[in-house]
A and B are shown apart, each in its own frame.
Chain A
Amino acid sequence: MNAWLILPIAWPLAAGALGLALSGSNTAQRLIAVIGAVGQLVAAVVLLLTVNAQGTQVLHMGSWPAPFGISLVADHFASFVLVAGSLAGCASVIFAALTVGRQRLTHGYFVLTNVLLAAVAGAFLTGDLFNLYVWFEVMLIASFVLLAMGPYPRQAAGATNYVALNLVASATFLVGAGVAYALTGTLNFADLALRLPLVESRPLVLILAALLIAAFASKAAAYPLSAWLPSSYHTPAPDVSALFAGLLTKVGVYALARSVTLFFPEDALVRNVVLGLAGLTMLVGVFGALAQFNMRRLLSFHIASQVGYMLMGLGLLTPLALAGTTFYMAQHMITKTALFLVAGVVERRTGTGYLKRLGGLYRTNLALTVVFALAALSLAGIPPFAGFVAKFTLVRAGTAVESWVIVGISIVVSLLTLMSMVKIWNEAFWKDRPEGEVEHDAARMHALPRSVPRWVVILPAGTLALASVAMGFAAGPLMEYAIAAGEELADRSVYIEAVLGEDAWADLETMTVEAMEASR
């Protein structure tokens, strides 16, 4: 039994339940928030080290052998993105603990964050298609409430778009899960991977692929299914955006990566569809970002754009490309959250996120400036930071298989990304602040609690930005880990044998025959 597998899920879940029980005390709420997030991070790191030392870890819940119960699986890919996600989540939650006001606190804000963290970990670790659906549901409801909870009228519109489109995606996923079960009689990832090749009808398998890709591409905010993201992420308080920015779409990418590599690894059509989505998503997202003047909305468009890069590796589907996707996801979670946290600090300080009304931050706030600069450069893929390592890997993988179109798009988008980062920099940091641009209402609404020192609020963002820098400088061991992840993803027998045992293929035959007989 490997308890470290359940802890990233169970620990924050328990913290959330406890928070619900202790809803009377605001201090307890803040404390439980941090305990839940930090605990998850610790568990995730231990899990990563265990995977590094011993290979794929599997936990059969309820001790029911796979494929009959639900199995949790941590391979290199899962544990790597889990650690990055926990780190990003941890920073956002700490930022929220410093800044969230009493109203949201008493209404269970941190119950929701804890549940969200647990659900994300659940999605990363589960080895079961329906269980994944459950974690998607948990994530959706928790994020919806976080999104809608708050005083701004715009939140209602944002939350409506968010929940409506995500429900369509969830319904699509559910139909997909049903189709998967109807085709193979199983829901376990490894078992599905084993049995799908036995399905003779290619259209049926492709129907499953179409449904899962539509569902997960929508969760990942791939164009043309990305509309929910830029229309909602900038609407709630900044702490909520930061939490979402790092985590939610990456779960969609993760699910897509799992299903493509396990279920349809040899299908050129699937691969090309993913590549097409990747290119479109990168381009539309980055152009959308360039058109924005609201800092958080601009960054939101970039989330979609960068999901395109992650899909690029998935579409190329070589070990190196998949390593690129893995590394890109991890660094993106950290870097992106850092940028949203910077946006949060800016809004809390100045009362606005509109670039035209901002200015002068370079002169007045050097620490914030440095944090933004580091994260923005990393995001745009400037060396030697983490974003560059990720981009380099993907471009190299694309070059190796001579996929020139996607390589070209990724390079152009990289430049456009930088262009929009320069836009934020010039407007918010370099330019002088326009006279008389203080919105008193907004400033009051955003104002930081007086008890919190100014510099402390920058710490979460600063830590993440430094992590992003460190991921570039110390890319050696991390990339090695990502390469291991890519190789495992490219060779699904590793996953199958870890879950079902080395005799999986032999068992398949006998089990099927037995079941046939039993059903008669």
Chain B
Amino acid sequence: MPELMTEVDKETLNANAVALIDSAVSEVFGMMLGMQSSVADSCPMPGPEKQVSAIVGFAGPMTGSCIIQMAEHTALKVTGAMMGATMTELDNSVKDAIGEVCNMVAGGWKNRLPLVAATCMLSVPTVVTGESYDVHHAPHVCKFTRHYSFDGACMSVTILYEVAS
């Protein structure tokens, strides 16, 4: 039976949640892509171009998900940086790589939250591609979205979470 969080625990988590995702994204980009990322005001998705989203779920005393979204050309750039190669099409390698980026961002954020790091588990990533789609979630969960720019491109990270009480 997982330990329940107190109201103080929850306030601590909420106070740190946003800053810690910035740190997690910066670490992933710096160590795995060799790129510096910085917080951006927005990350507009291009019109008809395909988007790529990856989702990793949280389970345990904190439930929810980490969603990263980027344009197709950005996914190619990110994958190319990870693999040291030039990617030209949205193939399985690109989907796999974006899933891994999401996994590392989700894990990095979760592991920075000492109150849930040990007991919260991650799902394997799910990757969605297509045009003009939305990701829906339960209305009562805590949610925040951060945008990041890097090497002339950008992506968005959305965290949805709810803690047991």
**A and B found bound together:** no
B residues at A contact (CB < 8 Å): none
Which residues of A line the B interface, CB within 8 A? none
